[in-house]
Every structure is written in C-alpha cells, then in structure tokens.
Amino acid sequence: MKTNTRLLLGIVFCFVSLGTLAQKNSKSTLYARQNLVAWCVVPFDKMKRTPEARAEMLKDLGITQLAYDWRQEHLPTMEEEIRTLKRNDIKLKSVWFWVDGGSGDVMDEANHFILKTLKENNIKTELWLSFNERYFEGLSDTEKLQKAVTSIGEINKKVNEIGCTLQLYNHGSWFGEPANQVKIIQSVGAKDIGIVYNFHHARHQIDMFPDLLKIMKPYLSTVNINGMKQGGPMILTVGEGDRELGMLQQLKDAGFKGTIGVLSHVDNEDAKIVLQRNLEGLKKLLKDMGEDKALKTY
C-alpha cells in the first residue's frame, strides 16, 4: 500500500514539475506574446479610447503589459488608468517621464504629478526618462555629461523614494546616443538605472547595432521594435523593413532577457489596427527565425 502511494505521489510530482517547466520555458521566450509591451497607444489612437476601452483592446490582442505614454490631456485620468489595468490583470510596465527643460527646475509640474500619483497608488514601475533637446543646448559634451549626471542623480533619488526605477530612453540628440547613456549611468554610479532602446529613434545606428548592443546589454531592459530600413521612415510596420530581422536575431543571440515593445506610433489611425499590423509582421519574422516556441503564443 505504501509503495503504491509513493508511486502515485511520484507520478503526480512528475506531472506538476513538467507543467511548471513548460510554463517557465514559455515565459522565457524572448518574442513570446506574454513578453510584449504595448507602447505609444495612449496619445496615438484615432479612437481616443478611455482607460477601460484601452484595457479591453489589449486583452483582445493578448498583450498583458502597457508602457504608459501620455500627453497633458491624459494625466487627469492616469489614476483611473492604473486602477483599470490592475483590475484587468495588465501590468503597468512603465510610465513616460519627459523632462521638458523649459523651467529652471529639473522636474516640472507633470513630472511631480506622475511621481505623486504612482506613490499614492503604491505602484512600483519603471520611469522611461528622456530630455527635450534644448535641455543640453549650447553645452560642450563634457558640460552635457556633467549636467545629465547631476540631473539624473536628482531624479533617480526621487524615483527610488517611491520604489520605482529609472530607464534612460533614446529619443534622439546627444542624450539618445547609447554610448552617452552608458557614460551617464556609470558616472551616476547607480546600479538600478537601465536603458530602453527604440529602433525607430535609431535608424542612423543600424550598421552600428551589434557594437552598440554589446555596450548596452548590461543595462538594457526593453527594446521597442520597428520596421528598419537604412535611411527609411521613422515609423515602419515590423516586417516591412529589410534590417529588423537581423537585429532581432542579434538580440536573441546576445542573450537579451528583457521585454519587447510593440508600437502604435501612427497619427490618425486606430491603435488596435496598428498593433495588429505589427504583431502580424513580428509573427512573419519569427517564422523566418524558426522561433516555433514563440509562434505558439500567437
């Protein structure tokens, strides 16, 4: 009797272990749907969805993470957005943290509002930080680095106080260069600051991508993908370029373990349709890459 019981328990344990392993393997797939983050879906949406409608859209698409991009008009409903995402089991992956540089202070009213809202709702997330180009205007590279280190050190302290983390976001100009971002992080000396890399802001870096990936990788948390052509348009559907396939393969080969952002960065279109186009384009590329495990999640 004891032998039979032990045998039965062993079989049950085996099935549970296999199920857990399968789940872990599924979740570890870089390009699996559950590792995708929707980006630029709040301000770039002809339908002007409410937080509830946006959550419904993401669920329909099978996307379980949102990076919250905003314009001033959206901030009054940010708290509603947070609660709606939580109710629908959608992770708030990050919040856009734009430093405009128009006032004497490092952070403006919108920056303070975001931190206050996150704190009041006990949200621990990433802040994707970028600066208006004018913030470093007229400075030498040495002076830009010094100003960036001072400013980001101050911002990082505020962000850490509410349990969030800072990610440097390439949005063009001096601050958007990965080599400069790595210098900033190393100079600040904070081990919790990372990098978000956007294909659509890096069209001039296609040929340099393998080398840039090497220096970014220790800090890289998210890569937002896009169709890529040398000298091509900023926004191009994934799969319609001739270089993104190689870049996606390079990310995988480098052992990148972060998340993948899918954009709806198109004016005057339905965000759901734009996201669907990019998902279909990514699916096509995954077939070309032989990513069978990831394809099973689509």
Task: Note the pLDDT of residue 42.
Answer: 98
Look at residue 115 and give its three-state secondary structure. helix
Taking each helix axis as running N to C, give the angle between helix 141-161 and helix 109-120, from 0 to 180 degrees, rounded to the nearest 10: 30
Q: Is residue 157 part of a domain?
A: yes
Chain centroid, CA 205 distance in Å: 19
What angle (nearest 5°) sits at the alpha carbon of residue 30, between those of residues 259 and 169? 25
Q: Is residue 2 part of a domain?
A: no
**Do 101 and 134 contact (CB within 8 A), yes or no?**
yes
130 DSSP β-pair partners:
98
**What sign has the CA pseudo-torsion 91, 219, 97, 274?**
negative
Task: Note the pLDDT of residue 28.
Answer: 55
**Do 83 and 121 contact (CB within 8 A), yes or no?**
yes
Task: Note the pLDDT of residue 7.
Answer: 43
Task: Note the pLDDT of residue 190.
Answer: 94
Residue 187: name the closest of 151, 134, 225, 240 by CA. 151
Q: Is residue 191 part of a domain?
A: yes
User: What are the per-10-residue average pLDDT scores of the chain (298 residues)?
Assistant: 44 38 52 98 98 98 98 98 98 97 86 98 98 96 98 98 98 96 97 97 96 98 97 95 98 98 97 98 98 96
**Do 114 and 166 contact (CB within 8 A), yes or no?**
no
Domain count, the chain: 1
Q: Is residue 9 part of a domain?
A: no
CA distance 50 to 237: 25
CA distance 126 to 148: 19
DSSP codes, 150-176: HHHHHHHHHHHHTT-EEEEE--STGGG
Domain that holds residue 70: 26-295
Q: Which CATH number covers residue 290?
A: 3.20.20.150
Q: Is residue 13 part of a domain?
A: no
Q: Which two tokens stand for residue 10?
A: 């062993």
Listed in order, strand segments (DSSP E) in the chain are 36-39, 65-68, 91-99, 126-131, 165-169, 194-198, 220-225, 259-263
Q: Is residue 5 part of a domain?
A: no
Q: Is residue 229 part of a domain?
A: yes
Q: Is residue 206 part of a domain?
A: yes
Specify the residue for token string 């996307």: 63
**pTM for the model:** 0.90
Task: Note the pLDDT of residue 16.
Answer: 37
CA distance 111 to 97: 7
